[in-house]
């Protein structure tokens, strides 16, 4: 009955995502599959965190959308995300969920897989908030040279963008703490938020060095920035 309720809920969310244009059709199907894997290989709390990420990142994407569209900085035609967005954003979380499931089957000692899962999405959410909300700031500097550059360019940072990046990571940090412990715990919030914000800076550096040169795609930059943050976090937790 529980499994049926989860599947039904995800199907409803799939329909809602199409109505609100959160994803294109293939992106919604990919998100549905990701959600199913996350909830059964992780837990319901993992799925809730994933949904929080999807909702708040969509709000950031739709913020000031007309202005971003006029500057050709918008995501998709109406702010919708594609399959590649879903996979690059969720592939590390999926891997962590699978490792968690295998760990459970082996009855091994508990490890902070949910925290690593949260950190992977803290990075992506931090980057989304930075790129979607930071474009309003005209004082943008290239992270590798600190020279003035154009708003919206890969690797460009601003005070508004950095504040938005921190807030995006903080949302996931606070959500993780509530879902994992039922209350606000400073250390987990600081850790998840800090590693998410760090990953966003790595994303900007990779964007400046490789994405602008056509050597990496936006999705690949997202993946590697989240991967580095998760690996560093895992070493800390060990």
Instruction: Summarize the confidence of residues 70-90 as an average pLDDT.
Output: 66
CA 53 to CA 175: how far, in whole Å?
Answer: 9
**C-alpha dihedral sign at 128, 130, 136, 138:** negative
CB-based burial label for 63 (10 Å; 0-12, 13-18, 19+): middle
| Whole-number percent of the chain with pLDDT over 90 | 50
Instruction: Name the band, by pLDDT with cuts 50, 70 and 90, for residue 14.
Output: low
Cβ neighbourhood burial of 36 (10 Å; 0-12, 13-18, 19+): middle
pTM over 0.85: yes
At 19 the pLDDT is 65
* Mean pLDDT rounded to a whole number for the chain: 86
Mean pLDDT confidence for 79-95: 75
Distance, C-alpha 124 to centroid of its chain: 3
CB-CB contact of 61 with 132 (8 Å): yes
Whether pLDDT at 206 is above 70: yes
What pLDDT score was predicted for residue 123?
A: 97
Domain around 129? 2-237
Tens of pLDDT, residues 19-63: 666 666 676 777 778 888 888 898 889 989 998 998 898 888 887
pLDDT of 83 strictly over 80: no
Give the separation between CA 233 and CA 160, rounded to whole angstroms: 26
Structural domain count of the chain: 1
**Greater confidence, 191 or 220?**
191
Q: What is the DSSP string of 84-136?
A: HHHHHHHHHHHHHHHHHHHHHHTTPPP--HHHHHHHHHHHHHHHHHHHHHGGG
Of residues 55 and 74, more confidence is placed in: 55
> What pLDDT is recorded for position 78?
53
Angle 59-57-177 from CA coordinates, rounded to 5° = 115
């Amino acid at each position: 009955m529980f499994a049926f309720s989860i599947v039904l809920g995800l199907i409803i969310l799939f329909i809602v995502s199409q109505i609100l244009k959160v994803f294109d059709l293939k992106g919604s199907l990919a998100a549905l599959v990701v959600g199913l894997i996350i909830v059964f290989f992780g837990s319901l709390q993992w799925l809730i965190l994933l949904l929080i990420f999807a909702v708040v990142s969509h709000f950031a994407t739709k913020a000031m959308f007309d202005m971003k569209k006029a500057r050709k900085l918008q995501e998709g035609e109406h702010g919708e995300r594609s399959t590649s967005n879903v996979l690059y954003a969720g592939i590390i979380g999926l891997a962590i969920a699978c490792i968690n499931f295998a760990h459970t089957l082996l009855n091994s000692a508990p490890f902070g897989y949910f925290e690593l899962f949260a950190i992977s999405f803290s990075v992506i959410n931090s980057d989304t908030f930075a790129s979607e909300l930071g474009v309003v700031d005209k004082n943008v500097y290239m992270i590798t040279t600190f020279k003035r550059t154009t708003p919206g360019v890969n690797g460009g940072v601003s005070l508004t963008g950095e504040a938005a990046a921190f807030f995006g990571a903080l949302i996931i940090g606070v959500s993780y703490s509530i879902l994992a412990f039922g209350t606000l715990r400073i250390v987990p919030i600081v850790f998840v938020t800090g590693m998410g914000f760090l990953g966003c800076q790595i994303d900007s550096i990779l964007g400046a060095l490789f994405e602008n040169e056509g050597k990496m795609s936006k999705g690949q930059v997202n993946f590697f920035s989240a991967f580095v943050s998760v690996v560093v976090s895992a070493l800390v937790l060990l």
